[in-house]
Amino acid sequence: MLHLRVISPAELTDDVLALLDGAVGVVNLVVLPGVARSPEGDLIQFDVAREAANEVIERLRRLGLCSDGSIMAEQVDLSLSDAADRAEREAPGEGDDAVVWAELAQRVSDDSRLTWAFLAFLAIATQLAGIGVVVDSPILIVGAMVLGPEFGAIAAICFGLLRGDRHLIGRALRALAIGFATAITITFACALVSRGLGWIGPSSLTGHKEIEFIVKPDRWSFIVALLAGAAGVLSVTAGKSSALVGVFISVTTVPAAGYFAVAAALTRWEDMAASVAQLAVNIAGMVISGTVTLVVQRAYWSRFGTRLPARPPRDPDRK
C-alpha cells in the first residue's frame, strides 16, 4: 500500500473526493478541511493499493493539484486492516509487480544527478577495484561492485528512452561520463604514486587468474549484462533493494574502470583497451535490457490504465 497526502484548494476538494470515492484500491480516506497553510487548502489523506496507484495519481494530477496544491506519497510498511486487504484484492494485478510511474520518475531523476556523494562513492569504489586488481582479490572486486552507484544513472537512461526524455538521458549520461572520468583519474593518480614508490610495476597485472574476466569481454559478458539490466530495473520498480545488490555484484563496470586506471599507470595498452570494451559492453547490455523491461512493464500495466473500474458496491451487512 501507498499512503498519499494531498493538499487541495477548497474549490477542488469535491472533485478530488468524487474521484477517490469511485476509485478501486482506495481506503482509509480522511478529510481535514482548511487545515493546510502552505499551500493553503484542505488536507486529504488516504491509502491506495500500489497496483491502482498510477490511475489515482494521474487523475489527481489532471485536476491541477501539482500546481495548485500538493501530492505526496510514501510506502506503508505495516497495515493491519481488513478494509485495506479488501482494497488490495479489488485492485487489478499484484502489488509487487506494480510500477508506480510517478515514483519511478522521481527516483531516476534523483539518481541521475551529478552530486558530490555520487562522485565520492564511484571514486572510492574504483580505487577499491584498482587495489583488488593489483592484489588479485576477488573480495575487494565484489566490494567495489556493491559500492558503485552507477546503476541509478543507467536506470535513468532506460526510463528516459522509454519516455523519450532527452533531458533525462543527457543528464544521466553526463553523470556517468564525469563520474567515471573523475574516478579513473583519481585512481590513475594513486596508481602512479604507487608505481613511483615501487609498490607496483608492469608485472603487477600478470598471472591474475581470479580476475581475468574483467579484461576478457565476450558473449557471456553481454548476456550477464542483459540479465543484470533486466533484474536491476525490476528491483528498482518493485522496491527490492536486496535484489539490486545482486545486480551490482553481477556486472563489472567499476572493476573495469579500476583496471583501466591501473593499466594506464603501468602503460599496459592492451589491457586498457580490453577494460574499456568490458565497460562499454556492460553498460550497453544493461541499457538495452533495462529499457526492454520497462517497455514490457508499461505494456502489461496499460491494460488497466484509465479503464480501472469503479469500486464494486459493498454489501451493507458485510463487515
pLDDT tens for 308-317 read 444 444 444 4
Query: Tell me, what's the pLDDT at 311?
Result: 46
Of the chain, the percentage scoring pLDDT greater than 70 comes to 88
Query: Tell me, what's the pLDDT at 243?
Result: 62
Q: Stretch 148-157: mean pLDDT, rounded?
A: 91
C-alpha distances in angstroms, 119 versus 114, 126, 166, 182? 7, 10, 23, 7
Average pLDDT taken over every residue of the chain: 85
- pLDDT tens sequence across 28-52: 999 999 998 988 999 999 999 888 8
Higher pLDDT, 53 or 95: 53
Query: Tell me, what's the pLDDT at 210?
Result: 65
Q: Stretch 114-123: mean pLDDT, rounded?
A: 94
Contacts of residue 241, defined as CB under 8 A and 6 or more positions apart, other chains included, come to 235
Q: Answer yes or no: is pLDDT of 241 > 70.
A: no
Quote the CA–CA distance of 124 and 147 in Å, as a whole number.
8
Query: Tell me, what's the pLDDT at 78?
Result: 83
- Least confident range from 20-34, 247-261, 277-291: namely 247-261
Contacts of residue 156, defined as CB under 8 A and 6 or more positions apart, other chains included, come to 108, 109, 111, 112, 168, 169, 171, 172
Q: Answer yes or no: is pLDDT of 209 > 50.
A: yes
- pLDDT tens sequence across 67-88: 888 999 998 888 888 888 888 8
In the chain the first and final C-alpha atoms are separated, in Å, by 21
